[in-house]
A and B are shown apart, each in its own frame.
Chain A
Amino acid sequence: MSKPFSTVPPARISRRALLAGAGLVAAGFVGTRTVRQWMKQRASVFVAKHQTYGGPLVQTIRDGLIASGIDAANLKGKKVLLKPNMVEPSREAPHMTTHPAIILAASEVFRGWRASVTVGEAPGHVRDTDMALEESGVREALDSAKLPFADLNYQEVAWVENRGHASKLAGFWFPRAVAEADMVVSLPKMKTHHWVGVTAAMKNLYGVIPGIKYGWPKNVLHHNGIPETVFDINASLPRTIAIVDGIDCMEGDGPIMGTKKTMGLVVIGTNPAAVDATVCRLMDLDPAQVPYLQLAGGRLGPIDDRLISQQGEKWQPLASPFQILDKPHLQRLRKNKGVLVT
């Protein structure tokens, strides 16, 4: 049943448990093995190496999701929203945005499981969403696969209570495609971020927030604290999993102006916090020093490596230092040997 699309915040609804994946468990999207893991505050993260955009990404993503605990049978007939990263696309910097091949492969997997797939994004910096779609190459991919696209910047909105309470915001306006989705799949690019260090699955979900209500950039969120609102949005979107485009990545002055770094990885998991912690380790950055992961750790999911069950490849031999800006607020990320760049 559709949620009411009201302009008036409704009465507070019952607060859901913040236990990682509670929404997924309730919805029956994950198997019992994963349930047991979550009960112990554990999560599985799948890492695939030697990946290319022309390679067998469908198989990689399908294998990764199953290894992460997805119960494919329960996705039949469900609405799945794929959320790539198209913050400020430019043909000059394809390593800034989620590659269309990842979107197509993920859609094929979910369609194969008989889910109803929509791609949605609210580009954070550009009001002309067509421009974002075409500069990123995503438009062509959507057309080729006859995938519907939801422009999350301008859709009608529904009010959802802020279940994180890290920021002062009482709730969020979620676009229709987000509010009605049974599952939101974060499809981020693996990138450094010049304010919060790293952007991957959790930060990418800033892009479900509609510009028509929050602005371009989504300044309402910034003024309420980037880490706090990243945490809050994720806490308020319980049905969320992640497939990270870690093939051609961005280092240095990410998330827009950084340089390309090829890793050849795809990282998958049903717990975005655990996925992001693993992404940090692959970038040779300390997840415990990323402010929104500090908030998420133990509440939205595990970020401690001992609590993350590694599927596929081990991250340790794949880790490669990402350059980060030589700025005081980013220094603490370099727990090990992360490289600074000016």
Chain B
Amino acid sequence: MWLDQVIGTIEKNPVIGYASHSAPATEPTAIAALVLLAHGKQESAKRASDFLINTQSSDGSVGVRQNEPDPQWPTSLAVLAWHAFDKLAYATNIEQGVNWMLQAKGKAMEQTDDMGHNTQLVGWSWAEGTHSWIEPTAFHVLALKTVGRGDHPRTREAITLLLDRQLPTGGCNYGNTSVLGQMLRPHIQPTGIALLALAGEQDQGNRIAKSVAWLRKALSKETTRASLAWGLLGLAAHRITLPSATQWLESAAQQVQSHDNSPHKLALLALAAAGPRLLTPDS
């Protein structure tokens, strides 16, 4: 019931922002495109995909909002949406996006005892000229795997980075593991997104299994909306479905509708209900 309602709303207006009545933004619209495709709403999905094209710069990157070409971290999400919609029709946009992604690099930093992770590994950053972090790196890995570039050296290095950033007891912080000798706390959203990108990967250190176990335990009916969506998607990519997931998603959607009515959060919940197949074709 809630899902039909949400999909109906997104179908009417597939170009969405983070908040209700806010300017359309790339990330929520890419998520909307994936939701619509997952639920067979091709016509509306095309409107969302076309919005993303209008946001693409001549260098292939896609900015955070239309007329805001910087930073370019949503490029990966746009590529995912285009590929899922029609990889042939959007072949040029996808190719330009992938070319931009492969030349964009997070900034390596000198390795010191202060930071627990390998600061030399290169993934993707939120903004140009800054360090690589979990979520943008995972989004880029998902996009590159989806377009068949999972074996590219950049993708492989990013996988190594994501494994390196898993906390020893499972789960991920936003990107650090320990700072000045102090282990940080794991969070659900980055863990779920990282696990999506790590689906199908081999891990001799058993880190993926630990993070899956942590995430499974961390998710509950109290989990907030975006975290719940990404957490369930991350588990589903590892073939784990929680028995209460449907109930939690419905409850979360009702909370959004009664609070801020964020189209982005509703789209994320609908995507979680659809499962990860458009994000991780091989899972």
Interface string of B156-196 (1 = CB under 8 A from A): 00000000000000000111000110101101111000000
Main secondary structure of the interface of B (DSSP, over half): loop
Q: How far is the CB of B239 from chain A (nearest CB, A)?
A: 24
The verdict on B18 contacting chain A, using a C-beta distance below 8 Å, is yes
Please choose the segment from B121-129, B141-149, B241-249, B270-278 that sits at the chain A interface, where 4 or more of its residues have CB less than 8 A away: B121-129
Report yes or no: B179 in contact with A134, Cβ–Cβ below 8 A.
no
A156–B25 Cα distance when bound, in Å, is 10
A335 at the B interface (CB under 8 A): no
* A305 interface residue per 8 A CB criterion: no
CA distance A215 to B64 in the complex (A): 11
Whether A256 sits at the interface, judged by CB under 8 Å, is yes
Stretch in contact with the other chain, from A73-81, A122-130, A239-247: A122-130
B227 within 8 A of A: yes
Q: Which of A7, A155, A217 contacts B68 (CB 8 A)?
A: A7
- Does B227 lie within 8 Å of A131, measured CB to CB? yes
Contact across chains for B23 and A156 when beta carbons are under 8 A apart: yes
Judge if A336 is at the interface, Cβ distance under 8 Å: no
B184 touches A216 (CB 8 A): no
For the complex with contacts A126-B189, A219-B127, 12 further pairs of A-B residues with Cβ separation under 8 Å are A7-B67, A154-B19, A154-B22, A194-B180, A212-B64, A213-B64, A213-B71, A215-B127, A216-B133, A223-B130, A253-B180, A253-B182
Q: What string of 1s and 0s marks CB contacts (under 8 Å) between A113-148 and chain B?
A: 000000000000111101100100000000000000
Q: Is the CB of A257 within 8 A of B127?
A: no
Chain B interface size, as a band, is 35 or more
A75 to B125, CA, bound (A): 41
Q: Is A220 an interface residue (CB 8 A)?
A: yes
Q: Which residues of B are found within 8 Å of A219, using beta-carbon distances?
A: 125-127, 130-131, 133
Contacting B at CB under 8 A, from A211-232, are 211-217, 219-220, 222-223
Interface SS of chain A: loop
A220 lies within 8 A of B130 (CB): yes
Q: Is the CB of A154 within 8 A of B180?
A: no
- In the complex, B107 has a CB within 8 A of chain A: yes
> B185 contacts A90, CB within 8 Å?
yes
In the assembly, what is the distance between CA of A217 and CA of B125, in Å? 10
* Contact of B226 with A156 in the complex, beta carbons under 8 Å: no
CB-based nearest A residue for B64? A212
Quick check: is A104 within 8 A (CB to CB) of the other chain?
A: no
Report the separation of the CA atoms of residues A155 and B98 in the bound assembly, to the nearest whole angstrom: 28
Cβ contact of B180, chosen from A90, A134, A156, A327, cutoff 8 A:
A327
Q: Does B250 contact A (CB under 8 A)?
A: no
Instruction: Report yes or no: B64 in contact with A127, Cβ–Cβ below 8 A.
Output: no
The answer to whether B179 and A194 touch across the interface, beta carbons within 8 angstroms, is: yes
